[in-house]
Structure 1
Amino acid sequence: MAVDSAPPSSIVFFVQAGVTDGWPAAPASGVISLLADFPMPSVERATPPGAYWLVPPRRGVLLTDDGALLAALSDVIPDWAKAAAQ
């Protein structure tokens, strides 16, 4: 998990390519967006300014569990989860 402190600030989760294809469309609020380009910080970078690691990659693990991420987003954005269920 990485953070880009440059406006607009972002928390970035890395998931396997294609796993979000079945997810509902991102809400219009701009809370969720899909990025194809992110300024990857060096592994040692853990503080702002710019992009840095909130949870640095370890032993080659970079990807977030997509099921856990979908469940967490559904919990914090209930309207998005309701739209997905319809």
Structure 2
Amino acid sequence: MAIGEEKVAIEEIRSKCVKAGLSNTMIDRITTFREFAGDSLVFGRRDITKYFSFSYSNAGKIIASMRKANILVNVVGEGKGKYRFKL
């Protein structure tokens, strides 16, 4: 993905998060992780836990917030609780 397209994707994610009523802190965490993960990385709670050095519970809160903002796609065939960002 080109740099300009990446910025558009981040802004779209930020907009969806604002519409979902997420806090600025949560939006910053989600967009930071999106910059790291991109569109194709398949991830779960463990990946968020490692990236942010968070507890498993806090990683779950981030995933719940991403689901609320409708920016995730469930990935089939990778195991339970695996996601990637919507394109």
TM-score, structure 2 as length reference: 0.24
Comparing both chains, which one has the higher relative contact order based on Cα–Cα distances under 8 Å and sequence gaps of 6 or more? Answer: 1
Greater fraction helix: 2
Find the structure with the greater CA-based Rg.
1
